[in-house]
Amino acid sequence: MPRLIKISWYVLHITGWEGFTIKPIIVEDLCIGCGICETICPEVFELRDDGLAYVIDESPSDDLKEAVEEAVEACPSEAIELEE
């Protein structure tokens, strides 16, 4: 189900529909602690001492959408999912 939501989000994003708020989620079992998400969007993602990334802003503002999307695409283990 989360993967379906992720795909739906991309479809809506590509078509330019902006009428919803994204909610990034880290799937802990998949995160390898590389820190790429934090590097791309430190306003939303934070790598902590336990070696995992955490979402520190669950409702990013519109101006962070592109950075969040970039982090999702750049995550090497596909550990970041997006919900409405």
Q: Does 56 bind ligand SF4 (CB under 6 A)?
A: no
Interface stretch with ligand SF4, choices 1-9, 10-18, 59-67, 75-83 (CB under 6 A): 75-83
What percent of the chain is helix, strand and coil (3-state, nearest 5)? Answer: 35, 15, 45
Which residue of 47, 68, 81, 82 would you call a contact of ligand SF4, by CB under 6 A? 47
Burial class (CB in 10 A: 0-12, 13-18, 19+), 63: exposed
Residue 7 or 30: the one with the smaller Cβ distance to ligand SF4 is 30
Residue 36 or 68: the one with the smaller Cβ distance to ligand SF4 is 36
Distance CA 41, CA 17 (A): 22
Question: Which is it for strands 53-55 and 80-83: parallel, antiparallel or unpaired?
Answer: unpaired
Q: Does 41 bind ligand SF4 (CB under 6 A)?
A: no
Q: Does 72 bind ligand SF4 (CB under 6 A)?
A: no
- Tally of residues, the chain: 84
Interface residues for ligand SF4 in 15-34 (CB under 6 A)? Answer: 26, 31-34
